[in-house]
């Protein structure tokens, strides 16, 4: 059966590459900023690039933040946050000051650690190995260490709350997260070739 997936449009997402990847997998994809459409969707994707603060202002102004919370907490919609979308799901970020997030993931968003040797550059750009944990839905049929494409300067840290996957760039950071109907990746599955397509397919199961 063809899955219907709604990509949340709040003006800061890499929407079209995500849309293309989902359509390649045979999904019926809706791009929407309509609160009612979002609340009633079974599968939601929250993409994003850019400033956490600007993104939260946009979500709040359009009341999309409430629609996302209603969908996930009341209607049990499955939500996948990608890159900035994952960070927005945290409790707060320290980018451009301190800004509250959606609170769907009980972790804070902080800048990647600088290193004196400057071996690990910020922003972290390119393919990197992701170590997945046991019992993961997202990483089913993927190798324990698979490569995915990253573009980011901020991250969450792993704390063992939920099913986590990690990567390293100067420090171990959270590369993916899942708990019940909440899913998130710091990397871009839509830009990660076959590994990314496999992960998106797993989210849709």
Q: Where are the beta strands (DSSP E) in 91-170?
A: 92-93, 99-100, 108-111, 124-132, 145-152, 154-155, 163-168
Which among 170, 155, 48, 152 is positioned nearest to 94, based on CA atoms?
155
Would residue 190 show up in a list of annotated catalytic residues for this protein?
A: yes
Active-site residue, from 98, 152, 188, 205: 188
Which among 93, 110, 111 is positioned nearest to 57, based on CA atoms?
93
Active-site residue, from 164, 171, 190, 205: 190
- By the 8 A CB rule, do 94 and 111 touch? yes
Active-site residue, from 27, 83, 124, 164: 83
Would residue 188 show up in a list of annotated catalytic residues for this protein?
A: yes
Q: How far apart are CA 87 and CA 64, in angstroms?
A: 16
Helices vs. strands in the chain: H and E counts, helices first = 6, 13
**Would you name the residues annotated as active-site residues?**
83, 188, 190
């Amino acid at each position: 059966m063809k899955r219907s997936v709604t990509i949340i449009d709040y003006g800061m997402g890499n929407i079209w590459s995500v849309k293309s990847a989902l359509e390649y997998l045979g999904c019926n994809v809706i791009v929407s900023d309509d609160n009612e459409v979002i609340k009633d969707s079974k599968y939601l994707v929250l993409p994003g690039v850019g400033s956490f603060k600007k993104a939260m202002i946009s979500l709040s102004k359009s009341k999309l933040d409430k629609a996302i919370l209603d969908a996930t907490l009341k209607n049990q919609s499955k939500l996948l946050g990608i890159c900035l979308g994952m960070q927005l799901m945290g409790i707060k970020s320290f980018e451009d000051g301190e800004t509250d997030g959606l609170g769907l993931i009980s972790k804070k968003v902080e800048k990647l650690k600088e290193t004196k040797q400057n071996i690990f550059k910020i922003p972290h750009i390119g393919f990197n190995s992701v170590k997945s944990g046991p019992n993961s839905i997202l990483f089913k049929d993927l190798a324990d260490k698979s490569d995915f494409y990253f573009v980011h300067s901020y991250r969450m840290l792993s704390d063992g709350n939920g099913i986590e996957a990690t990567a390293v760039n100067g420090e171990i950071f959270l590369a993916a997260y899942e708990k019940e109907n909440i899913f998130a990746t710091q990397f871009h599955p839509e830009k990660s070739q076959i590994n990314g397509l496999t992960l998106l397919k797993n989210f849709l199961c």
